[in-house]
Amino acid sequence: MVVCASHSPGMERDVDRVFGTTFRTGLARASSIVREFDPDYIVLFGGDHRRAFRHVVPTFGVALSAGIMAEAGHSPGALNVPQGTARGLAEHLLDSGIDISVCRDVQLDHAFAQPLRDLTGSVDAYPVIPLPINCATAPLPKAERVLAFGDAVGRYLSGTGDRVLVIGTGGLSHSPPSLEVDTYDISDEERARIIAEGSAAARKKIKPAWDKAFLHASATWDREALARLTDSAHADAGAGANEVRTWLAAGAAGGGVPLEPLIYEPVEEWITGMAVAVSA
Q: List the catalytic residues.
A: 110, 174
Q: Which of 151, 171, 162, 154 is nearest to 127 (CA)?
A: 162
Angstrom distances, CA of residue 205 to CA of 213, 244, 257, 264: 16, 16, 30, 16
Tell me how far apart the alpha carbons of residues 99 and 93 are, in angstroms, rounded to a whole number: 7
End-to-end CA distance of the chain: 9
83-92: Cβ within 8 A, 24+ apart: 85/41, 85/129, 85/160, 85/162, 86/62, 86/129, 88/156, 89/62, 89/129, 89/153, 89/156, 90/62, 90/64, 92/152, 92/155, 92/156
**Which of 72, 63, 140, 137 lies closest to 107 in space, CA to CA?**
63
C-alpha dihedral, 122 to 80 to 3 to 247, nearest 10°? 120
Q: How far is it, in rounded angstroms, from Cα 48 to Cα 163? A: 26
Cα–Cα dist 72/81, whole Å: 23
Q: How far apart are CA 241 and CA 171, in angstroms?
A: 5
